[in-house]
Structure 1
Amino acid sequence: MKIKQIIVAGTLLVSVASFAQKDELKALKKIYDRDTPSAEDVIAYKANLNKLETLATQEGDKVYLNYYKAVLPQIEIASLGTNTPPKPEQLAKLFTPKAISDIATAYSTTLEFEKTSGKKIFTDDINEDLSVLKPMLFQVVVSLDGQKKYKEASQVFYALYQLDKKDVENLYYAASYATNGQDYDKALGYYTELKNINYTGEGISYLAKNKATGNEETYKTKLERDQYVLLGTHTAPREEKIPSKKGEIYKNIALILVDKGRTDEAKTAISDARKANPDDTSLMLTEANLYLRLNDKVTYSKIVSEVLQKDPNNPELLFNLAVLSSDTDSAQAEKYYKKAIEIKPDYFDAYLNLSELLLRSDEKFVKEMNSLGTSEKDNKRYEALKLERNNSFKKIMPYLEKAVELKPDNQDAKTTLIGVYSALEMTDKAKALKDKK
């Protein structure tokens, strides 16, 4: 079945193939070949599938039965009509993770059977469908992500990976979403598979600015990006290197193993990765993070020293060290952020993260101030805390101001700075920043 128009116009195109089969298979083929099957056709389609469950005894009949069963969601989508594209909720209802997995299995089985038999009945349909199914199913993922259904989104990504194992990035996203959904057993399995196939995720992103929206958009290939630039709809083409995800993959394997109490396995996993990639600083940081999680600060400090010896003036490295230290040693994290800023004065993320780190102390001020009564002693303590709190805000303010200067449109930085201005009763500055578009 060809479904290349389903996203753009909601039309389901079908191919024509004729072959002698059981009556039920012929009936299924007849409905399959219709551009827009009716609701009655869908009922008849399902009825013939049920009949074939016991009648399909030969290998070919079984293969095609499973194929027709797997493409039932496409038949149902086509029966909705051709006027408008299917809605994400309709897609999510029909294309469940199991349904996508069944499609993947049926496609691969059918392709292999037709390759062996030499009869290409559905091969061309399948190859064409893959290019359309994947972007359509991404709509399902977007819908699930918006509902914070991370486990379900992970299942869809894994099903997409089964659909086309050349697109390993889907396995990476399956692992990431499984982690976000706290489905750690699945995440560990996916990350381990990524490790075994030596996935790095390195590459190049091709970007260009959309004239209509003003937003920068990302393309997988230079050719695709350049076509939009030539059409005149996009400007300012540029490339951006996608860094290796290997360190992150090993880190997550190790952290999940630690959470499961499998500490020795976690240490071995990182140690083996380090031996295979001795110059990979991301893996060194992963190992440091592991020992930090295990509260082994001696080993952590040793590895950090080793990392810094390799590249002491690398701002990204210092930034990552700051992130690692921020939950356990805020003073050290502050030093790393400041050093990164010293080396790279336009390092927006370092300014923003440093501001967030320093703002953490505000909670203790607010908590104690709210707990005070109205006695003279409490009033004096309140004023002392207010002064101390204001001094803390004044220390943070320059970093936030620099962050806003570097990225005026960043809402997180703007909102936080407005809050600091308001706390310091700098109402004019707060208003001016609010009024800026």
Structure 2
Amino acid sequence: MKGKYVILASALMVSVATFAQKDQIKAAEKAFRKGQAQEAVGILNEAESLIANASDSEKAQYFFIKGNALLDLANKNVEEDKNLSLAADAYVSLIAAEKASGKEKYSGEASTSIATIKYKLINSAIADSKINKHALSAKKLYDAYLLDKKDTLNLYYAASTYVNAEEYDKALKLYGDLKDMNYSGKETNYLAVNKLTKENDLFKSSLERDRMVKLGTHEQPTTEQIPSKRGEIYKNIALILVQNGKTAEAKEAIAAARKTNPDDTSLILTEANLYLETKDFDTYKKLIVEILEKNPNDADLVFNLGVISGTAKNVVDAEKYYKRAIEINPKYLNAYINMAALKLDKEGVIIAEMNKLGTSDKDMKRYDVLKKERQDLFRAAIPYLANALELEPKNGDVAKTLLGVYSALEMTAEKKALEAKM
């Protein structure tokens, strides 16, 4: 008989708890409708411990009201960052609860609010990045992704921003998620300038864009190819693993990626870079040959090979690849700049030796030899700097470098002509 009373008491406790949480949800909803969002959030926070045992439909209602109240506070600039993030969490929980229940009573109504939070988070994240609040920016981008998991670009940007914040473990987790979904990010953007705003608008297809151009609302249609981001993703995974002393895992990760994406040359380039960093030069050279066999006329790829070779202090190969990139694409600005940099980089060694020389006849003869070598370097850099400046006349760094070269060679007329253009 005593056992029956215990069972009855337990049932009454569950019943009382159920009524309590329902009353608190109703009270919060009433407060919110009266414009008392802060009070509504307070009531819901008090009921949070009871929600774990609530039905999925009650959980959905709870999170719906909470999300709305938090978004209202954020819209009123009340702890905007904090409340946007909390609102995002509430809506994610709402979606999960309704998915579990099989009923979507609030998901439809919440969709507009979800979209609003998503774009507020993205805009706020961009603003945070501009003032170097990278960790906060990354969290907001990840929250935006959780609100709309179809928009995987936000997950990619969140991972990249965690790298900027030097929170590598968090970045590694998100890069792992991107790897598991075989994310590429490769796409085609169809753009045209809006005649009213004078800014580029993005269209879903070339047909839609061309139709707007014909209607006269847009002009200057362009197509932008966004390359695969797999190489960068695996490169960052590898670099983080290497930093954590897990070089073998890094190599395994890239090898696995290449098996899944055998035609993605960016992954071969990433693998080559990894072997270069671990000083396995034989494997590095083998991979370089493989890359060139696949894409001998890819200017970007050849340029990247130049960068990798330059990093390895292999000046001969770096020059070869930069010249080849220019041969493929005579308007390749960065190839001209890097070629000039390679030439001028040798100046430091020459200057160091010149400063050590004395005043003996032998030293003075050596000084003259070194002086000529330095002048030859400057002369060799001029065509590349001039071509770079012709391609981008407003590039101040290139202009200043070329002015310095003209000054060192006492090319007064050329220096004055360039100064007149600046």
Of 205, 209, 219, the match for 2:202: 219
* Aligned counterparts, 1:41-60, within 5 A: 41-53=36-48, 58-59=54-55, 60=57
What amino acid maps onto 1:95 in structure 2?
A: L
Write the distance in 2 (CA, Å) between the matches of 1:29 and 1:283. Answer: 53
Deviation of the 1:244 alpha carbon: 1.5
Conserved? CA contact 1:100–1:156, under 8 Å: no
Q: CA RMSD in A?
A: 3.5
Change in Cα spacing, 1:357 to 1:214, as seen in structure 2 (3 Å) is: farther
Write the distance in 2 (CA, Å) between the matches of 1:406 and 1:102. Answer: 49
SS in 1 for 2:166: coil
Write the distance in 1 (CA, Å) between the matches of 2:344 and 2:80. Answer: 43
**Partner residue of 1:341?**
326
Deviation of the 1:204 alpha carbon: 0.3
**Partner residue of 2:28?**
28
Deviation of the 1:169 alpha carbon: 1.0
Deviation of the 1:49 alpha carbon: 2.7
* Aligned counterparts, 1:24-103, within 5 A: 24-30=24-30, 32-33=32-33, 37=35, 41-53=36-48, 58-59=54-55, 60-79=57-76, 91-92=80-81, 94-96=83-85, 99=86, 101-103=88-90
Conserved? CA contact 1:100–1:159, under 8 Å: no
Larger C-alpha radius of gyration, 1 or 2? 2
Deviation of the 1:283 alpha carbon: 1.9
Change in Cα spacing, 1:183 to 1:77, as seen in structure 2 (3 Å) is: closer
Conserved? CA contact 1:188–1:253, under 8 Å: yes
**Partner residue of 2:10?**
none
Deviation of the 1:26 alpha carbon: 3.8
**Partner residue of 1:8?**
none
Deviation of the 1:292 alpha carbon: 0.3
Write the distance in 1 (CA, Å) between the matches of 2:149 and 2:256. Answer: 26
Write the distance in 1 (CA, Å) between the matches of 2:398 and 2:211. Answer: 35
Conserved? CA contact 1:210–1:235, under 8 Å: yes
* Aligned counterparts, 1:150-229, within 5 A: 150-209=134-193, 217=200, 219=202, 221-222=204-205, 225=209, 229=213
Conserved? CA contact 1:318–1:337, under 8 Å: yes
SS in 1 for 2:102: helix
**Partner residue of 2:278?**
294
SS in 2 for 1:207: strand
Q: Deviations over 1:9-53 (max 9, x none)?
A: xxxxxxxxxxxx95543443345457xx4xxx2443343334434
Deviation of the 1:213 alpha carbon: 7.8
Select the structure that is richer in helix: 2
Q: Indicate yes or no: 2:245 matched with 1:256.
A: no
Q: Deviations over 1:142-190 (max 9, x none)?
A: 1111112223222222211111110111111112112222222122211
Deviates more, 1:406-415 or 1:151-160: 406-415
Write the distance in 2 (CA, Å) between the matches of 1:430 and 1:103. Answer: 64
Conserved? CA contact 1:288–1:299, under 8 Å: yes
Conserved? CA contact 1:292–1:300, under 8 Å: yes
Q: Percent identity?
A: 43
Deviates more, 1:248-257 or 1:418-427: 418-427
Q: Deviations over 1:43-100 (max 9, x none)?
A: 43343334434665633444333333344442113435xxxxx9xxx7445434xx36
Of 280, 284, 293, the match for 2:268: 284
**Partner residue of 2:379?**
394
Write the distance in 2 (CA, Å) between the matches of 1:433 and 1:95. Answer: 52
Of 127, 138, 142, the match for 2:111: 127
Write the distance in 1 (CA, Å) between the matches of 2:265 and 2:195. Answer: 39
Write the distance in 2 (CA, Å) between the matches of 1:430 and 1:288. Answer: 42
Q: Deviations over 1:275-328 (max 9, x none)?
A: 333333222212211110100111111221222233333322211211222211
Change in Cα spacing, 1:33 to 1:234, as seen in structure 2 (3 Å) is: farther
Conserved? CA contact 1:175–1:190, under 8 Å: yes
* Aligned counterparts, 1:362-401, within 5 A: 362-364=347-349, 388-401=373-386
Write the distance in 1 (CA, Å) between the matches of 2:237 and 2:299. Answer: 26
Write the distance in 1 (CA, Å) between the matches of 2:327 and 2:352. Answer: 34
Q: Deviations over 1:234-284 (max 9, x none)?
A: 421011222222222222222222222212112222222223333332222
What amino acid maps onto 2:61 in structure 1?
A: Y
What amino acid maps onto 2:74 in structure 1?
A: I
What amino acid maps onto 1:316 in structure 2?
A: D
Change in Cα spacing, 1:226 to 1:72, as seen in structure 2 (3 Å) is: farther
Change in Cα spacing, 1:66 to 1:181, as seen in structure 2 (3 Å) is: same
Deviation of the 1:338 alpha carbon: 0.9
**Partner residue of 1:360?**
345
Deviates more, 1:177-186 or 1:54-63: 54-63
Write the distance in 1 (CA, Å) between the matches of 2:28 and 2:364. Answer: 82
Write the distance in 1 (CA, Å) between the matches of 2:166 and 2:49. Answer: 41
Q: Bigger relative contact order, structure 1 or 2, given CA contacts below 8 A and separation 6+?
A: 1
Of 102, 127, 138, the match for 1:116: 102
Conserved? CA contact 2:268–2:287, under 8 Å: yes
Deviation of the 1:200 alpha carbon: 0.9
Write the distance in 1 (CA, Å) between the matches of 2:230 and 2:392. Answer: 30
Q: State the TM-score, normalized to the length of structure 1.
A: 0.77
**Partner residue of 1:146?**
130
What amino acid maps onto 2:389 in structure 1?
A: V
What amino acid maps onto 1:341 in structure 2?
A: I
